[in-house]
Chain A
Amino acid sequence: MFTKGINEFMYYVPFLKEIIKRDFKKKYYKSVLGVAWSMLSPLLMMVVITIIFSTLFKREIPYYPSYWLGGNLLFAFAMDGTNSAMNSMVNNASMIKKMKIPNYFFCISGVTQHFITVIFSLVPYFVVSMLIGVPLSWKMLLIFFPIILVYIFTLGLGMFLCAYGTFLRDLNYLYHIVRRVWLYVTPIFYPIDIIPEQFRFLFELNPIYVYISIFRDFALNDTMPSERMIIVATFYSILTLILGITTFREKEDRFFLYI
């Protein structure tokens, strides 16, 4: 069954390319600046956030703009990616109902969309980092490790949400609130140090925090994250993907009646 899945995947690779291209085009349809927005909007937000919070956390956080940008980069990737994947069945109903294509390709495309955005956003991230004097190090290249882990996590969670969201559209509104709460419980604009020591283990239950802290270790602190963190992060990603795939497979046969 595994090789069958691989063969099927390879057969549809040209399709995946086309669909990713299409989604990308659609995203910036009729926009003058187009893809430049994926670099501009985090920068603008960074200015605002820095003005508001850097006075608050001045002592705790060095290189605050990069601290926020990096955290926000991964967080936005996970949130937007899961959201796209969740709605991918409904948005592609016209194709799913008339062509035989493995449904999960639309989830992959939805997540990959935002992965491309992440790649573009890395440009302003490094420009800002250099401007504010973050020391350069070869470890910065390792940031792709947490980014890939976020990709896997996002795909898994997106497929899981899609499996239910296709039947129950309310999940969209509910997830909107969850995302808001998630933002506040993840140390993106505040330092983890403001949390009392005895509660910090709770934050490790939040996969996105684990990814962000690995990212920051590589990109800002010039340190290697602890092995524990790496194992926990990998574990979260793989577990979520397995959960996503199994749920999706179980539900997907009934999708076409609900889209």
Chain B
Amino acid sequence: MMIDISREAVEIVNPVINRSLRTDDLDDEEICIDVRNVSVLFNLSKNREDGLKEYFINRIKGKVGYDEFWALRNISLQVHKGDALAFIGRNGSGKSTLLKTIAGIIKPTRGSITVNGTIAPLIEISGGFDRSLSARENIFLVGAMHGHTKKYMKKRFDEIVEFAEIQRFVDVPMKNYSSGMVARLGFALATCVNADIIIADEVLSVGDAKFRMKCEERIQQMLKAGTTILYVSHSAAQVKKICRTAVWLDKGQIIDTGTAAEISDKYMQSLKKE
């Protein structure tokens, strides 16, 4: 079978700029994330230029060229407070880049992003852990990244450890943790720091079924409390269960937006067509 990138799917659907994700019951609520015409350019250097020698040689040869790669092109979307929004798309479609841009880790090359509220980013499973430290130290470290004092984190400490189910391993360096344990701690921490917006990038993909259920429950609770959730998952079932709306990304562009069920069905269909 030939593996071709879903070019067809991209060309058929013409990306429309400036969509607003609105479902009827959210109409009056305030916008907490406003992404306007955001593009992100990555310079993929043809020759790695981490060295002076290479740099000068290439400079002399006139080869300090880059392959321009637009990881995101002209993305505009608005997220309402309390919404659960899913991002779906294939690997390399720009989901993580978009989330990192919203989280403020990457600055957009063009366009602007306005965020009202604090963000707890859980990107690529571990949310900025230092693996050489123990879970105990990491809890305080990540808590501090969210501007929480040690006193505050001490109050939440037991709750976090209990939720992550790592009681026995709190003082073990995290480099010895299994990926499931890291993911559990990451999720427990991100949901305990009282952020207004939670970015969950494939966090639930490594946990076991029981933990996933627990997480889904926690997410539902938080949604009720008015937390906004940006969610990435490759499981259509999960997306439908958790999210209300969805954005379909491909090659850094928005293909379609709508309700979670509708978009994930469309996406699955397009995959079958290839």
Q: Please list the residues of chain A having a beta carbon within 8 angstroms of any beta carbon in chain B.
A: 11-12, 14-15, 17-19, 22, 25-26, 29, 94-101, 167-171, 174, 253, 256-258
Query: From residue A27, how far is it (CB to closest CB) to chain B in Å?
Result: 12
> Which of the residues A17, A98, A256, A258 comes within 8 Å of B144, measured between beta carbons?
A17
- Is B55 close to A, CB under 8 A? yes
Interface pairs (24), CB distance under 8 Å: A15-B141, A15-B147, A19-B141, A22-B133, A22-B137, A22-B141, A29-B132, A94-B129, A95-B145, A98-B121, A98-B127, A99-B103, A99-B121, A99-B142, A100-B104, A100-B105, A100-B119, A168-B52, A170-B51, A170-B52, A253-B107, A256-B105, A256-B106, A257-B42
Task: Kindly state the separation between the CA atoms of A12 and B131 in the bound complex, as whole angstroms.
Answer: 21
The DSSP consensus for interface residues of chain B is loop
Q: Give the complex CA separation of A26 and B124 in angstroms.
A: 25
Q: Is B53 interfacial (CB-CB < 8 Å)?
A: yes
User: Which of A18, A94, A96, A168 has the largest number of chain B CB atoms within 10 A?
Assistant: A18
Q: How far is the CB of A176 from chain B (nearest CB, A)?
A: 14
B149 at the A/B interface (Cβ < 8 Å)? Answer: yes
Within the complex, what minimum Cβ distance (angstroms) separates A126 from chain B?
32
In the bound complex, CA of A258 to CA of B44 (Å) = 10
B residues near A15, Cβ cutoff 8 Å: 141, 144-145, 147
Residues on the B chain within 8 Å of A101, using CB = 145
- Given A14-B150, A18-B141, A100-B121, A95 and B130 contact (CB-CB distance below 8 Å): yes
- Pair count A-B, CB < 8 A: 82
Query: Which residues of the other chain, A, contact B131 by a CB distance below 8 angstroms?
Result: 94
Report Cα–Cα, A94/B130, bound state, in Å.
Answer: 7
Q: Are B42 and A95 in contact (CB under 8 A)?
A: no
Task: Tell me the minimal C-beta distance from A168 to chain B in angstroms.
Answer: 6
Cβ of B267 under 8 Å from chain A: no
In the complex, the answer to whether A14 meets B149 with C-beta atoms within 8 Å is: yes
B interface, size bucket: 35 or more
**Set of chain A residues within 8 Å of B42, measured between Cβ atoms:** 257
Q: Which of A14, A29, A100, A169 contacts B50 (CB 8 A)?
A: A169
Question: What is the chain A residue whose CB lies nearest that of B129?
Answer: A94
Quote the shortest CB–CB distance from B186 to chain A (angstroms).
10
Q: Is the CB of A97 within 8 A of B51?
A: no
| Distance between Cα atoms of A141 and B127 in the complex (Å) | 44
Query: A interface, by DSSP: helix, strand, loop or mixed?
Result: helix
Q: Is the Cβ of B51 less than 8 Å from the Cβ of A169?
A: yes
Known: A14-B143, A18-B141, A100-B104. 5 other contacts (CB 8 A): A14-B147, A97-B105, A169-B50, A174-B52, A258-B50
A residues within 8 A CB of B140? 18
- In whole angstroms, what is the CA distance A19 to B53 when docked? 34
Minimum CB–CB distance for B128 against chain A, Å: 4
Q: How far is the CA of A249 from the CA of B103 in the complex (A)?
A: 19
Across the A-B interface, the 7 shortest Cβ-Cβ residue pairs: A99-B128, A170-B52, A15-B144, A100-B104, A14-B144, A98-B128, A18-B144
Contact residues in A for B132 (Cβ distance below 8 Å): 26, 29
Q: Report Cα–Cα, A15/B137, bound state, in Å.
A: 12
Closest to A12 in B: B147
Q: Min CB distance, A183 to chain B, in Å?
A: 23
Given contacts A19-B141, A94-B128, A95-B128, are A100 and B103 in contact (CB under 8 A)?
yes
Do the beta carbons of A11 and B147 come within 8 Å of each other? yes
Residues on A with beta carbons closer than 8 Å to the beta carbon of B43 = 257
Q: How far is the CA of A172 from the CA of B48 in the complex (A)?
A: 17
CB proximity to A under 8 Å, residues B23-72: 42-43, 49-53, 55
Which A residues are in CB contact (< 8 Å) with B135?
Answer: none
Q: Report chain A residues within 8 Å CB of B121.
A: 98-100
Residue of B nearest to A19 (CB): B141
Asked if B123 and A98 sit within 8 Å, CB to CB, the answer is: yes
Contacts of A170 in B (CB 8 A): 50-53
Complex alpha-carbon distance, A95 and B103, angstroms: 13
Q: Is the CB of A99 within 8 A of B106?
A: no
B126 beta carbon closer than 8 Å to chain A: yes
Query: With contacts A168-B51, A169-B50, A169-B51 known, is A99 near B147, CB below 8 A?
Result: no
